[in-house]
Structure 1
Amino acid sequence: MDYGQDLLFGVFASPEAARVADTLELAQVADVAGLDLFTVQDHPYNATHADTSTLLTAVAARTSSIRVAANVANLPLRPPVVLAKQVATLDLLSNGRAELGLGTGAFWDAIEAAGGQRRTPGEAVDALVEAIRVIRGVWGQDPQRPGARSVTVEGEHYSVRGLRAGPAPAHDVEIWLGAYKPRMLRVTARYADGWLPSQGYADPAALPELSARLDEAALKAGRGPELIRRLYNVFGRFGTGAGFLQGTPRDWAEQLAELTLETGTSAFILGTDSPDDVRRFAEEVAPAARELVGVERARRAATTGSGGVSGGDAGVSGGDASVSGDDAGVPTRPGGAFPLAVRPTPDDGTRLSASLPWREDDRPSLPTPAEATYTAPQQAHPQHLLEIHDALRSELGRVRDVVDQVRDGLMSVGRARSVINTMAMRQNNWTLGAFCQSYCRIVTGHHTLEDRSVFTHLRHADPALGPVLDRLEDEHHVIADVLDQVDEALVALAGEEGYGAAGLAALDELQRTIDLLTDTLLSHLAYEERELFHPLAQHGLN
């Protein structure tokens, strides 16, 4: 059962107090490598662990894009009113990047030793339900009292009477529950935004049955199963083994893609403290898994008309959800066809570089088909290309943002070497390099896929596209050269020990290459969309 949700990838780190600096560095690696989630376990009674809430605040301060969460917060030692305020504050400080993993508690001897109350399994679930109501009430999101300015929950374990609600988080914080038993699955289906099992307690073979029970419980609760994101804490080792997450990055990608397509699992959180494993997960596994899932969803959409979503209309590809803008209400033609609703991204011609490595006025172009209409499954193909391009444009924006941060840091602390060291400017160099290298690999992989698969298919389907495809392939080679220039600029920047004239020159060269990459990539993506959206709708991806 695939619900068509965007795939998320993240890290499940250990909050060891003796190595908090390493954990913060790991979070930066995950952030600049493009991962979506950074989570840490929460065992307040563990003498070797740092406080999870404080650690997550430090992580949020050191990162810019990655979402942060406890995995999962220990409810018996985290009073729900205080937990709600802590998460809302973290969300405000991080500009909407906090989520809440929540559990009933375990290791009751340790909890009791730390001053918590021992609970039976039934009492622990009852307390969790009450706590969720309290937390959502503090956030001003109690579904039973919408718009309420105070919180009142009369519970056996948590009673709150007339507490003023607030502060509200910056976004609608999601609550993810770790659940395995029937009652907890029912609680998850009724109250949670996400289901967060761990591989150690539910192996991949168990997920289909557990997910089906969650679906059934959601329907009985009056909720669509697609409203509940399925996350999964996973553990593995890169190598040549045949087991789950024991092989190559490609093996990992295929196994995770299969879980997405068969069980609806759409977020994978890797338990590791290794920066190298985090990079490989972000740079090799995640893009390949997304590509495999995207191709299969497009194939399913073309075959079944379901938008790549099994068993319903929850997907974003191929159904009405892919129709954007004013075309959402366009009357369909016979057979359910309608004008192409997927629009090429506008290109206003603004350029940052003095000149480009190609002319833009001599690009081959084919006329747009007049009165062309396409079914929803056909429109899923250009929609998929647009989603990939939008991801590339978003990543490019992050690259430029990182470059700007390096420049701003240099200008503010360039007069004093000691201040530079406290600002960790060498770390900025390193994280900038890690991010750009990850981004360059993603772009190159996307273009290679186009050249070897999609373009070959389109050449056979429509020979008239030959000149356009030739030009697009030529531009791929040019962009590859620009990416090489970015790499060379990064090497030069990393080789500068100080920030004198040579360092400034290296930064200027990096800025030049980033500007050139921006101009060539955005120009190319816009051209590709203008020329290929209709052919992709007509002939598909493969």
Structure 2
Amino acid sequence: MPDLGHELRFGLFPSPEAARREQTLELALLADVSGLDLVSVQDHPYESRHLDAWTLLSVIAARTQQVSVAPNVANLPLRPPVVLARSVASLDLLSGGRVELGLGTGAFWDAVAAAGGPRRTPAEAVDAHLEAVRIVRSVWAGGTVREVGEHYRVEGLHGGPRPSRDVPIWLGAYGPRMLRVTADVADAWIPSMGYADPSALAAMNARIDERATANGRGPAAVRRMYNLVGRFGSGTGFLEGGVRDWVEQLAGLALDEGVSGFVLGTDDPDDVRRFALEVAPGVRELVEQERALRAGGPPAEPVATAVVPTGSTDGTGGTGPTDAMVWDESTRPTYPVPAGAAYTAAQEAHPQHLVDVHDALRAELTQLRGVVEQVRSGLLQVGQARSVINTMTMRQNSWTLGAYCESYCRIVTGHHTLEDRSVFPHLRSRDPAVGPVLDRLHAEHEVVAAVLEDVDRALVGLVSADTTVGGAPTSTALETLSGTVDHLTEVLLSHLAYEERELHHPLARHGLT
């Protein structure tokens, strides 16, 4: 099928396991500050290892500011449609319009029955699904709700509350009849890899298109979404290669199969960052470029090939100080480590997680320093450097040089915001002795933010009219940029090292949240 022209959206599908609830909430916050569009979780109310989906989504919505949340997909046999409709509307109102509803007919009928739900045949499940969708939308519409069906009876109910807007309903569907139902009543179709691999999408899309054309809605009335699984590596299969492979493969699905929503199932924070900050912008650019060509307009600037940074691999890029000591250590509070402190492997995993997050920030800083060094060495013109920066891990949605620093500031600031809102209050409440260290770390967050603003100004100045000659930056502009990046290196690396050292014991003793 052709591209339907929908705006592209990218989301996260983390595990709702109760045992890793802290990591799941942190992943949701990472998705929010990294610019992803939605966070969705599976809904299996009979699964003892899982958190309740609606409770988890409510907490995620409360802790985030931008992302939409959705069950992916709600287990209809165990979610009465009236209660489900009111849960969705309530969370939508409380979150400022950031809720969508994924619905499934149900599966794993032995488990559903064990939890007190009905055991339905495939035909009954589809019939119940249609009744439930009508009930949900009637509740949202307000007024009197009446649905006397084979599976649900609602007679004389007063509808409401009304959600803040028309909440999109996604359907997870695979069979011929459910695909027709999707074309009749759904706002989006969301199959999953494993149940519908990329090669199977065309035939399923054709059924939706045919029905949507016949019923007068038209194919574009149904957004096409896709639950993804993959790994970044050197493989040749679907979503098994590097970032460029992912970009090209997902852009192909958007342009050839009309898929406009990509939801990645992962619990790896590095994969979330790469998906949000590298893959998503790359797919958007390729799709915009092709759409412009198909519309007969001027082609968009092609996706640039990232230049491998030169220099050392010690976190400084080979051009700045390796001993990053910008603050006077004598003024930094220290945590009173208990005598004989020892921790289990599970306890040590908490401070190690902080180190892993910091390592990603260090790697991104190394990339920036490598690009600056190549510009200074005359290996790149400033226009090429801009493209390199735009393809780095630090970028978000914009492809201009000025927006690069906005993205990097958002990543670092988002990490600090997560600490200030969640990790630091938790540690302070559990261990008053860590208070002076937390106060100092919060103050250093403000310093880092100010230095990032300096880098932003230097990068913007690098391409201004009075600092370039023939398209190349002047030596003064380059030295200004180099100096601010050196300062950022000193400030950030010193801060990260101090935080890791002083929070190691508190995190091991009390956990992240």
- Interval containing the TM-score (normalised by the shorter chain): 0.5 to 0.7
Give the Cα separation in 1 of the matches to 2:92 and 2:480: 38
The gaps in structure 1 that reach 5 residues or longer are 141-147, 306-386, 452-465, 499-542
Q: Which of 229, 245, 251 is 1:251 aligned to?
A: 245
Aligned to 1:27: 28
- Post-superposition Cα deviations, 1:132-154, rounded to whole Å, max 9, x if no partner, equal 111111111xxxxxxx5221112
8 Å CA contact 2:10, 2:280 repeated in 1: yes
Q: Which amino acid aligns with 1:255?
A: Q
Aligned to 2:53: 52
Give the Cα separation in 1 of the matches to 2:278 and 2:410: 22
Give the Cα separation in 2 of the matches to 1:52 and 1:88: 15
Q: Which amino acid aligns with 1:293?
A: V
Give the Cα separation in 2 of the matches to 1:93 and 1:157: 31
8 Å CA contact 2:86, 2:160 repeated in 1: yes
8 Å CA contact 1:7, 1:267 repeated in 2: yes
- 1:402-413 to 2 correspondences below 5 Å: none
Indicate the larger mover: 165-174 or 64-73: 165-174
1:209 positional shift: 1.7
* Equivalent residues, number: 384
Aligned to 1:38: 39
8 Å CA contact 1:84, 1:138 repeated in 2: yes
Instruction: From the superposition, tell whether residues 46 and 208 of structure 1 become closer, same or farther in structure 2 (CA, over 3 Å).
Output: same
Give the Cα separation in 2 of the matches to 1:414 and 1:12: 26
Q: Which amino acid aligns with 2:74?
A: A
- 1:49-448 to 2 correspondences below 5 Å: 49-140=50-141, 148-302=142-296, 388=398, 396=406, 418-419=428-429
Indicate the larger mover: 5-14 or 415-424: 415-424
- 1:492-507 to 2 correspondences below 5 Å: 493-495=495-497, 497=499
1:170 positional shift: 2.3
Give the Cα separation in 2 of the matches to 1:404 and 1:92: 25
In the superposition, the TM-score normalised over structure 2's length comes to: 0.65
Instruction: From the superposition, tell whether residues 150 and 285 of structure 1 become closer, same or farther in structure 2 (CA, over 3 Å).
Output: same
- 1:414-493 to 2 correspondences below 5 Å: 418-419=428-429, 474=473, 490-491=492-493, 493=495
Aligned to 1:381: none
1:483 positional shift: 7.4
Instruction: From the superposition, tell whether residues 241 and 284 of structure 1 become closer, same or farther in structure 2 (CA, over 3 Å).
Output: same
SS in 1 for 2:35: coil
- Post-superposition Cα deviations, 1:348-371, rounded to whole Å, max 9, x if no partner, equal xxxxxxxxxxxxxxxxxxxxxxxx
SS in 1 for 2:290: helix
Instruction: From the superposition, tell whether residues 269 and 43 of structure 1 become closer, same or farther in structure 2 (CA, over 3 Å).
Output: same
8 Å CA contact 1:260, 1:266 repeated in 2: yes
SS in 2 for 1:176: strand
1:403 positional shift: 5.5
In the superposition, the TM-score normalised over structure 1's length comes to: 0.62
1:100 positional shift: 0.7
8 Å CA contact 1:189, 1:218 repeated in 2: yes
Give the Cα separation in 2 of the matches to 1:35 and 1:50: 23
The gaps in structure 2 that reach 5 residues or longer are 300-396, 501-513
Give the Cα separation in 1 of the matches to 2:145 and 2:66: 32
SS in 1 for 2:10: strand
SS in 1 for 2:119: coil
Give the Cα separation in 1 of the matches to 2:203 and 2:220: 16
1:494 positional shift: 3.9
Instruction: From the superposition, tell whether residues 215 and 417 of structure 1 become closer, same or farther in structure 2 (CA, over 3 Å).
Output: closer
Aligned to 1:335: none
Give the Cα separation in 2 of the matches to 1:253 and 1:404: 25
SS in 1 for 2:49: coil
8 Å CA contact 2:292, 2:298 repeated in 1: no
Give the Cα separation in 1 of the matches to 2:497 and 2:269: 21
Aligned to 2:362: none
8 Å CA contact 1:414, 1:420 repeated in 2: no
SS in 2 for 1:102: strand
Q: Which amino acid aligns with 1:253?
A: V
Instruction: From the superposition, tell whether residues 238 and 473 of structure 1 become closer, same or farther in structure 2 (CA, over 3 Å).
Output: same
1:188 positional shift: 0.8
Give the Cα separation in 1 of the matches to 2:37 and 2:154: 34
Give the Cα separation in 2 of the matches to 1:64 and 1:479: 35
1:175 positional shift: 0.5
1:87 positional shift: 1.2
Q: Which amino acid aligns with 1:249?
A: V
1:26 positional shift: 1.2
Aligned to 2:8: 7
SS in 1 for 2:263: strand
- Post-superposition Cα deviations, 1:43-75, rounded to whole Å, max 9, x if no partner, equal 111111111110111111221111111110000
SS in 1 for 2:254: helix
1:197 positional shift: 0.3
Aligned to 1:364: none
Give the Cα separation in 1 of the matches to 2:227 and 2:256: 17
Instruction: From the superposition, tell whether residues 131 and 289 of structure 1 become closer, same or farther in structure 2 (CA, over 3 Å).
Output: same
Give the Cα separation in 1 of the matches to 2:210 and 2:219: 8
8 Å CA contact 2:147, 2:154 repeated in 1: yes
Give the Cα separation in 1 of the matches to 2:401 and 2:122: 44
Give the Cα separation in 2 of the matches to 1:259 and 1:401: 28
- Post-superposition Cα deviations, 1:233-260, rounded to whole Å, max 9, x if no partner, equal 0111111111000110110111000000
1:5 positional shift: 1.4
Aligned to 1:371: none
Instruction: From the superposition, tell whether residues 124 and 404 of structure 1 become closer, same or farther in structure 2 (CA, over 3 Å).
Output: closer
Give the Cα separation in 1 of the matches to 2:401 and 2:130: 37
Root-mean-square deviation (CA), in Å? 4.3
Give the Cα separation in 1 of the matches to 2:430 and 2:470: 46
8 Å CA contact 1:18, 1:48 repeated in 2: yes
Instruction: From the superposition, tell whether residues 290 and 150 of structure 1 become closer, same or farther in structure 2 (CA, over 3 Å).
Output: same
8 Å CA contact 2:103, 2:171 repeated in 1: yes
Instruction: From the superposition, tell whether residues 65 and 402 of structure 1 become closer, same or farther in structure 2 (CA, over 3 Å).
Output: farther
SS in 2 for 1:68: strand
Give the Cα separation in 2 of the matches to 1:69 and 1:11: 10
| Residue identity (%) | 52
1:31 positional shift: 1.3
Give the Cα separation in 2 of the matches to 1:94 and 1:477: 45
Give the Cα separation in 2 of the matches to 1:3 and 1:41: 27
Give the Cα separation in 2 of the matches to 1:407 and 1:244: 35
Give the Cα separation in 2 of the matches to 1:173 and 1:154: 24
1:224 positional shift: 2.3
